[in-house]
């Protein structure tokens, strides 16, 4: 929906921890590249709880229902405070509830390899040089995260259960997007599952095999998740587009993010069937570094670039942000997570200053 002035309008949900810090930098960049885009802030997570005693209040639901897209920061508190009312179930009640509210079934996480950062990647040089970008398509609304959960006692023993469920429609939705993306890139799609053990994975594989008939230009291969974890480290250049279930995607995308250098560089986008998008860093609220001006703003800035490209059709502005970030890296600026030593690093705000200067 557009505002009365017909400007594109985005909902800004900065959240907790480093969320507000990196979001503030993203808004500086937005104002530079697309000053006509309007935005409104809403509360989510622990920040919302402090005001409404709810992690995902109605005021925020109304805000996002009026927006053309959502730019999200991150939610959650320190692990040691996880049982306090403000932080208990914060992630489940906010970001998982938000994904459910918007019916965001597909999550895309690009892990891009920057040549300027080859020296901080854990990969050997020849492996790093062969990599460009890996795109991970993660299903977001099914699997063990949304199935029935219970903890109970049987004969004096505590038992906990989490149920993993998938419908073929849920799998078709992500398969369709992953095949379409692969067809427009290298034509290579790796579907990752655990079909040697899990029924949900057997159904997953069956749906992908059936859909492959509609995409003859795509070479589909299947890989078990344990092997994929090893292959990502041994030979990441073999992958272009990976599609996988919710739990496997959560873990594999964090692993993939470490290969280019840091979780703080990895953006993500989530879409529903109607193409509505929510954009957020792949990492969490990083309470260990919050408030110190040392968080890497790249994941938030690149999430903004994805929003401009996919939800607002602003391709030149998106590319400008991506290229400006690459130039800043090429000129040697590093935040602490990707720097060699603490005395030689650039803070969150100063790194963004450099990006803005390049724009």
How far apart (Å, rounded) are the C-alpha atoms in residues 321 and 3?
A: 25
Q: What angle do CA 56, 57, 60 make, to 5 degrees?
A: 90
Q: How far is the CB of 70 from ligand NAD (least distance, A)?
A: 12
User: What SS3 class is residue 21?
Assistant: helix
- Per rule CB under 6 A, is residue 70 in the interface with ligand NAD? no
Give the residue among 28, 22, 27 at the shortest CA–CA distance from 39. 27
- Per rule CB under 6 A, is residue 252 in the interface with ligand NAD? no
- Name the one range near ligand NAD by CB under 6 A: 23-31, 72-80, 111-119, 198-206: 72-80
- Per rule CB under 6 A, is residue 289 in the interface with ligand NAD? yes
Q: Which is nearer to ligand NAD, 95 or 259 (CB)?
A: 95
Q: Which is nearer to ligand NAD, 200 or 270 (CB)?
A: 270
| Catalytic machinery residues | 145, 194, 226, 250, 254
- Per rule CB under 6 A, is residue 95 in the interface with ligand NAD? yes
- Per rule CB under 6 A, is residue 57 in the interface with ligand NAD? no
HSE value, Cβ hemisphere, 13 Å, CA-based, for 118: 12
342, containing H or E segment: none
How far apart (Å, rounded) are the C-alpha atoms in residues 174 and 137?
A: 7
Using the rule CB under 6 A, which residue among 31, 161, 210, 288 binds ligand NAD?
288
Q: How far is the CB of 161 from ligand NAD (least distance, A)?
A: 22
C-beta separation of 171 from 274 below 8 A:
no
Give the residue among 73, 140, 70 at the shortest CA–CA distance from 310. 70
Q: How far is the CB of 168 from ligand NAD (least distance, A)?
A: 27
- Per rule CB under 6 A, is residue 337 in the interface with ligand NAD? yes
| 304 burial via Cβ count (<10 Å: 0-12, 13-18, 19+) | buried
Using the rule CB under 6 A, which residue among 142, 277, 283, 339 binds ligand NAD?
283
- Per rule CB under 6 A, is residue 77 in the interface with ligand NAD? yes
Site residues (CB under 6 A) for ligand NAD? 18, 74-77, 91, 95, 262-264, 280, 283-289, 295-296, 299, 337
């Amino acid at each position: 929906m557009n505002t009365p002035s017909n400007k594109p309008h985005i909902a800004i949900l900065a959240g907790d921890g480093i969320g507000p810090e990196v979001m503030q930098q993203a808004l500086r960049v937005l104002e530079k590249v697309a000053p006509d885009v309007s935005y409104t802030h809403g509360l989510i997570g622990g920040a919302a709880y402090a005001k409404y005693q709810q992690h995902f209040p109605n005021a925020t639901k109304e805000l996002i229902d009026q927006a053309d897209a959502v730019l999200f920061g991150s939610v959650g508190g320190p692990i040691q405070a996880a049982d306090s009312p403000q932080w208990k179930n914060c992630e489940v009640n906010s970001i998982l509830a938000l994904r459910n509210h918007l019916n965001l079934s597909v999550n895309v996480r690009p892990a891009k390899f920057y040549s300027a950062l080859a020296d901080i990647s854990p990969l050997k040089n020849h492996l790093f040089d062969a990599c460009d970008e890996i795109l991970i398509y993660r299903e977001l609304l099914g699997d063990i995260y949304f199935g029935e959960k219970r903890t109970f006692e049987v004969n004096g023993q505590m038992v906990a259960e989490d149920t993993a469920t998938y419908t073929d429609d849920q799998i078709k939705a992500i398969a369709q997007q992953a095949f379409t993306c692969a067809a427009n890139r290298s034509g290579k799609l790796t579907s990752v599952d655990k079909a040697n053990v899990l029924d949900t994975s057997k159904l997953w594989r069956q749906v992908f095999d059936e859909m492959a008939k509609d995409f003859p230009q795509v070479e589909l291969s299947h890989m078990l998740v344990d092997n994929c974890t090893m292959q990502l480290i041994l030979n990441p250049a073999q992958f272009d587009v990976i599609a996988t279930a919710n739990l496997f995607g959560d873990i594999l995308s964090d692993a993939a993010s470490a290969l280019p250098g840091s979780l703080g560089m990895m953006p993500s986008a989530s879409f529903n069937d109607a193409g509505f998008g929510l954009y957020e860093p792949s990492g969490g609220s990083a309470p260990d570094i919050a408030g110190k001006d040392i968080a890497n703003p790249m994941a938030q800035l690149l999430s903004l670039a994805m929003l401009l490209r996919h939800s607002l059709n602003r391709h030149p502005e998106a590319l400008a942000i991506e290229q400006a970030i690459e130039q800043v890296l090429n000129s040697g600026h590093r935040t602490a997570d990707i720097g060699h030593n603490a005395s030689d690093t650039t803070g969150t705000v100063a790194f963004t200053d450099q990006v803005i200067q390049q724009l």
